[in-house]
Amino acid sequence: MNQSATSATQKTSPMSNSPRTVKFLASILAGDPLNLIEAIRIAERAGADMISLDVSDGHFVPTISFGEDVVRRTVESTSLPVEVHLMVSRPDDWIERMDGCGHAQMLFHLEASSRAMGVVNAIRQKGVKPGVALNLETPISAVAPMLPYIDSVCLMGIVPGFAGQKLMDTTYRRVSELRELIDQSGSAVTITVDGGVKAHNAVQLVDAGAHCLVMSSGIYGATDPEASLREIRARL
Ligand code: DX5
Which of 138, 195, 141, 192 has the alpha carbon at shortest distance from 168?
Answer: 195
pLDDT at position 217 = 97
Distance 234 CA to ligand 1 centre (A): 22
pLDDT tens-place string over residues 20-33: 489 999 999 999 99
- Is residue 69 among the annotated active site residues? no
What pTM, to 2 d.p., does this model score?
A: 0.92
Pocket of ligand 1 (CB under 6 A): 27, 29-30, 52, 54, 85, 87, 158, 160-161, 163-165, 194-197, 214-218
Question: Which domains are assigned to the chain?
Answer: 9-235 (3.20.20.70)
Element of type H or E holding 231: helix 225-235
pLDDT tens-place string over residues 172-203: 999 999 999 999 999 999 999 999 999 999 99
C-alpha to C-alpha distance for 157 and 131, rounded to whole angstroms: 16
Distance 26 CA to ligand 1 centre (A): 9
Distance 196 CA to ligand 1 centre (A): 7
Spans of the chain below 70 pLDDT: 1-20
Q: Answer left, alpha or beta for residue 40, where phi above 0 means left and psi between -120 and 50 means alpha.
A: alpha
